[in-house]
């Protein structure tokens, strides 16, 4: 289901309508899943196996390696926020937009996330 990552992407594309939805999700995914791994590490065994991790490597670290491989394989590993006019200084504005418009999705995120979490994700993703 949809989570805070989706809420943050809607804030990105509201600010930059030329940003394709999937590209926004890609920009956010590494930072989002790093934060999610801190909040709900138990979710990453299943996630890493779904991305093809060997069982012995399953978990948060294996998931992140598999995600990087997948993004590289499909040609999205080097996508940059600055290519869409986005930068870390926008993190607070974007987090506030996500909270104002998609609080329900943020609330569905395993482990829960607050404004500080969202700002941290955005600052990292937009760097």
Six token digits for residue 78: 């080097």
* For residue 103, pLDDT beyond 90: yes
- What residue numbers bound the domain in which 115 lies? 4-125
pLDDT number for residue 10: 97
- Residues ≥6 apart with Cβ < 8 Å to 94: 8, 11, 12, 15, 118, 122
- Predicted confidence (pLDDT) per residue in 15-63, tens digit: 999 999 999 999 999 999 999 999 999 999 999 999 998 888 889 999 9
pLDDT number for residue 55: 85
* For residue 115, pLDDT beyond 90: yes
pTM for the full predicted model: 0.94
Q: H or E segment at 96?
A: helix 91-107
Total number of domains in the chain? 1
If you average pLDDT over residues 1-12, what whole number do you get? 94
pLDDT number for residue 22: 96
- Predicted confidence (pLDDT) per residue in 62-101, tens digit: 999 999 999 999 999 999 999 999 999 999 999 999 999 9
* For residue 1, pLDDT beyond 90: no
Asked whether the beta carbons of 32 and 8 are under 8 A apart, the reply is yes
- Which CA distances in Å does 111 have to 9, 12, 114? 19, 23, 10
Q: What is the distance between the alpha carbons of residues 81 and 87, in angstroms, rounded to a whole number?
A: 7
CATH number at residue 86: 1.20.1090.10
Q: What angle in degrees, to the nearest 10, is found between the helix axes of 115-125 and 91-107? A: 120
Could you list the beta-strand ranges (E) of the chain: none
pLDDT number for residue 57: 87
- Residues ≥6 apart with Cβ < 8 Å to 6: 25, 102, 105
């Amino acid at each position: 289901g949809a989570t805070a990552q989706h809420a943050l992407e809607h804030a990105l594309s509201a600010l930059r309508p030329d940003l394709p939805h999937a590209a926004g999700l890609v920009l956010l995914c590494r930072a989002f899943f790093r934060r999610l791994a801190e909040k709900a590490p138990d979710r990453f065994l299943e996630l890493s196996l779904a991305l093809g991790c060997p069982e012995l490597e399953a978990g948060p670290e294996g998931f992140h390696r598999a995600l990087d491989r997948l993004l590289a394989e499909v040609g999205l590993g080097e996508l940059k926020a600055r290519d869409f006019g986005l930068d870390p200084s926008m993190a607070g504005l974007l987090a506030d937009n996500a909270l104002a418009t998609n609080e329900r999705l943020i609330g569905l995120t395993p482990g829960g996330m607050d404004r500080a979490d969202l700002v941290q994700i955005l600052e990292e993703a937009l760097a």
